[in-house]
Structure 1
């Protein structure tokens, strides 16, 4: 039976973590860049601890106004500083709770930008230097970030999205387009099964392309997130896929 990690971005103000955590195996906690505060980090960490969900830091461009979904022209030293501060703010809370940081996953525009910009990827990796090779980074398959992280000696885990449509270059269909987010749990299941079993993902033009995934993200702010993760929990075993707890 195949095993897959299912992760959600959390601590972003939606407030549905207690409902999602029984059905997922890892989470990415917003740590103050695009969303989140010390209070929300503590609350989300404690919920994750209660449900045995692995915890990752979810740093972003420092841009709460745009929820971290707009690319920023920011000096390298300032980007490095804010990424380190965000991760350390969550790491301090994990230490207080007797927990370890499991992984790091960038958020939003920063995640997408480093996927295609090698120089920006190298800047972000400089910010993450102290965490290699012990703490893996969730990265998209066949991305600049994946290539540079491997070259720099980081541990990586390939991530794919169960609830987002892909384009031929494996970038995500922009959220400004109506087909970008998949909301039907049955369609999400089809995409997840195809990724895990066949290493293929269907594109927005109905073709398909190769992809690898160690972890699959279902966005916590998807309005149907709970329905999706509960449906996956119910149906994945029928396709010989088990949640990697």
Structure 2
């Protein structure tokens, strides 16, 4: 992978994750930095008022809006695996896309992408049947939607097989195994807490198409979009620093529908 392969790259963040009286993250500040927003649809976080407000903020900042679909697990924040069938995965994906679509349509904008959250994301990365169900639900709702998924995963293959545009995603602040999968959050070192280390990892992915796995191996990792998590204490400062580093390296930060995700 040559250093100048990625002239443009997307920065996405998981937003709209407040719920009722509980607040998480500084969505307004992050939306001034990122190019794509994955908005929670009520299954793992978010509620109708938060969904509407987050869509409004995204429109204000001209940020691409995506449905952040999840397992129905508010208490576990969607991070606990559940035994769901492909039919159930299809239905819950379609349901959540439709819910967020109502708010985007009312705001005079449109959905641009779909990204599974948490446990559903990781399950679909390795389970072809679940991946196919999510891709089919996305296609059946709107075949012009872009499907976000872990770089090199079953979800991206399912999206391509369904005729969707896909965006291969990588993470600045997550550790990788040698097979390209994410190190599970329950394991030590799964989340990179040092900003400089996370930025260095993100820049290696964006410029060189590679990442150092936890065992020390350098693995190929082609990414169209980088995720910056919005729930940490220093999330906004980190997102600003990463955005600045990408631009300083001569890259343009732009959503996949503008930067050209993979067909």
Same fold (TM over 0.5): yes
* CA distance in 2 between partners of 1:59 and 1:107 (Å): 6
What residue in structure 1 maps to residue 204 of structure 2? Answer: 194
After TM superposition, the structure 1 = structure 2 runs for residues 97-112 of structure 1, keeping only pairs within 5 Å, are 97-112=107-122
8 A contact 2:85–2:130 mirrored in 1: no
CA distance, structure 2, for counterparts of residue 195 and residue 143 of structure 1: 16
Q: Tell me, what secondary structure is at the counterpart of 2:233?
A: coil
Give the whole-Å Cα distance in 2 for the aligned partners of 1:52 and 1:226: 18
Please tell me whether residue 12 in structure 1 is matched to residue 17 in structure 2. Answer: yes
- Counterpart residue number, 1:32: 42
Distance in 2 separating the partners of 1:234 and 1:78: 41
Q: What is the aligned partner in structure 2 of residue 185 from structure 1?
A: 195
SS in 1 for 2:185: coil
Deviation readout 1:95-152 (Å, 9 max, x if unpaired): 0000110100000001000111111112222322324531110112211111122122
Q: Which residue of 2 aligns with 1:136?
A: 146
Q: Indicate yes or no: 2:241 matched with 1:231.
A: yes
Alpha-carbon separation, structure 2, partners of 1:26 and 1:118: 26
Distance 2:46 2:244 in 1: 31
- Is residue 3 from structure 1 mapped to residue 8 from structure 2 by the alignment? yes
SS of structure 2 residue aligned to 1:43: helix
TM-score, structure 1 normalization:
0.94
Unaligned 5+ runs, structure 2: 19-23, 256-263
Q: CA RMSD in A?
A: 1.5
Tell me which residue corresponds to 2:58: 48
Inter-partner Cα distance in structure 2 for 1:184 and 1:241: 23
Count of residues paired in the alignment: 245
Q: What is the distance in 1 between the residues matched to 2:119 and 2:80?
A: 5
Please give the per-residue CA displacement for 1:68-94, whole angstroms capped at 9, x wherever unaligned.
111111244333222211111100000
